[in-house]
Amino acid sequence: MSNELAKIEGLDGLQLDKYTEKDFDAAASSQSYLPRLQLMTANSSKCKGGEIGVNSYALVRDQDYKDLGKNVDVLLVTWRPKALETGEAVISVYDPQSADFQRIQAKSDEKDSGCMFGPEYLCWVPSKKTFATFFMGTKSARRESANVKALLKQAATLGSQHIKTPKYDWYAPKVQACSTPFEMPGKDELVEAVEKFNNPPVSEIEGVEETETRAR
């Protein structure tokens, strides 16, 4: 018996694949929500395992992490408030007036609480032709978030900055304007993404995932 892999051959010019990679992502995902952008620092298990470069951005969908490199061009579309609590489950809350949001916000200053809050941005990621969220929930990220907000409805490049104190040093998000032309989303696609982003449930409970929970 031959060990040679079976292949479809001799069908030049015949298109077997009707659907796109985007269609596959939509069908294969177990989530109804958008993928997220995340700055992966040295403490991340994905970086320690060599799956993602240190201080690179990842596009995260379910448990699939795609390395986007240390700088990512995006279109910044809009934002919403978010509080996040991690543990056996991941709880996301979007109403800043709610008791859960305020509880998570208050706990965020506690060491190893697994709680964060801050603005979350809707981004178009042209390199992957998809929309994604970008949550700026740590203290360092929130300090940079005003610069992100100033670039709303514009092209921007997400990178990182090295922050040092007498005791610690770490990397946090950094943003700057982007002048590199890139493919924009279609109008219908944009409207659909904005509608979905602007109308989340009061709260969401998700499975366990890797998040940047350090307070810095």
Give CA–CA dist 9/17, Å, rounded: 14
Q: Tens of pLDDT along 96-108?
A: 999 999 999 999 9
As a whole number, the mean pLDDT across the chain is 85
Query: φ and ψ at 148, to 5 degrees?
Result: -65, -45
pLDDT single digits (tens) 148-202:
999 999 999 999 999 888 888 889 999 999 989 999 999 999 999 999 999 987 7
Which amino acid does the sequence have at 35? P
- Radius of gyration over every alpha carbon of the chain, rounded to an integer in angstroms: 19
Q: At 31, which amino acid appears?
A: Q
- Dihedral sign computed on CA atoms, order 82, 115, 171, 42: negative
pLDDT digits (tens, 9 = 90+) for 84-95: 999 878 899 999
Q: Decide: residue 75, CB within 10 A, 0-12 exposed, 13-18 middle, 19+ buried.
A: buried
Cα 160 to Cα 172: distance, rounded to the nearest angstrom: 5
Residue 101 corresponds to which tokens in the numbers above?
A: 């949001």
